[in-house]
Structure 1
């Protein structure tokens, strides 16, 4: 199966991907039905990211099972998440061997969220430590997260250049951004990376808001700011669930089209296992990409070659 950094370096136009999480076992069939309905390869999807859901350490097995099924049944590269929280060198080696035997070659390495159930270990306290350990095997293409508006746990605002450079030197081959609702935050991040000589491919992470509660949860978890236009939309549709959902996806699509017009390396949709997000947004994004190629509006050049 193809390594993701190769896709970034060879594809004309932005790389298209989305993220899902392991659902409750009773909902796994529904997730696979949504993927079958979408037909990811026909929809222009380049890879699918499989993260952890609730459940702590046991969820690593769920992540692996779902990642293996997707890559096998749909023939599309999978980005398998791994966290440093509660990880030990021995356990990591076992996981990497298990992942490798199923033909998965791409890993997103993150620190993970520290909670009452996840106290962390001294082995991989930061994402860069986990990235370095995985990269030493030379079997995997390793990606990492980047935060356009700064990490929610860091009181300082803005991108952490030292952190990004440490991930790059540890072996990171590409980056996926945390979600944001104001494209200017992403463009400012791009300028900062370029000025610091960091030229890794970066996919822009977009999360369509689907309810007022969803907005509250996302902003609490990520610290992403809400532009005035989105705030007005939230108030307008706060008592209209169907209208809110449609308006939220429309706002996200507007973000995506602007990002594509600005020549981003990739678009990464945080789909939250929502079938309508997948079947509505992904085909529209792919069609927009194809239209730009057809009408000659200069799709992204291979600037990482």
Structure 2
């Protein structure tokens, strides 16, 4: 399957992508028809869950004829199994991956961070891998634009080609990082991770788990607030918009 980076070459307007979950599959794809590729969230706790994830990813690719970016959790990959893991994934026709730090399977004891896994994966020499990871643009408020840009550049040096932002509400933070990367001469593709018409329960989760303050306009009319954010990102010439799955 083609690299998702192909979609960002000479694009007109943001490239749309959509996160899927095992539970809802394509049913969770609010932007399914307009999405040029998908990502598949990894929420499993067992090896059986992982195998189900891979089967789902290959099935979605075959069904939609669109690439699926599989979420790979750093702690699930053993340092001595990096090459064999990604070689197996390539054999399944999967070559787009979002490497994330966070949850893990119960019996896993792999890499401590996505950045460490990025470096190790790049050292395998496996061709045609498209590696992505995440970036928290909310940290602009705490550390400034330059600090966040440097974090992004470090991820690029580690091997990332695409960065998908974590959930944010302040478009200015995202656009400032986007401009900072441009000024630095970076080839990174910065994609805006967006809540697509979220429920109040999802906004509660964002505030409770991610510890982000949810603005009043998102509470009063989340559909309108989401649409405004997308419009602002489009006006700001964001390379891509990645819609997170609803729950």
TM-score, scaled to structure 1: 0.70
What is the CA-CA distance between 1:33 and the residue it aligns to?
5.4
Check conservation: 1:84, 1:120, Cα contact below 8 A. no
For residues 221 and 39 of structure 1, the distance between their equivalents in structure 2, rounded to whole angstroms, comes to 25
Find the residue that maps to 2:35 and give its secondary structure.
coil
Distance in 2 between the 1:39 and 1:271 partners?
10
**Count of residues in Structure 1 that have an aligned counterpart in Structure 2:** 243
- 1-structure distance, mates of 2:179, 2:120: 30
Match of 1:4 in 2: 4
What is the CA distance between 1:141 and its match in structure 2?
A: 0.9
1:85 partner SS: helix
**Is 1:258 the equivalent of 2:247?**
no
Q: Which residue of 2 aligns with 1:241?
A: none
> Unaligned stretches of 5+ in structure 2?
none
Q: How does 1:1-305 map to 2 (within 5 A)?
A: 1-23=1-23, 31-32=25-26, 40=32, 43-55=33-45, 58-113=48-103, 117=106, 120-121=109-110, 124-135=111-122, 136-150=125-139, 157=143, 160-208=148-196, 210-231=198-219, 233=220, 247-272=221-246
Shift in CA distance, 71/119, structure 1 to aligned 2, threshold 3 Å: closer
Deviations 1:176-230 (A, max 9, x none): 1111122122122223333444341111110135333321211233333333423
Contact 2:148–2:177 (CA<8 Å) still a contact in 1? Answer: no
Asked if the contact 1:85/1:120 (under 8 Å) is kept, the reply is yes
Q: Which protein has the larger Cα radius of gyration, Structure 1 or Structure 2?
A: 1
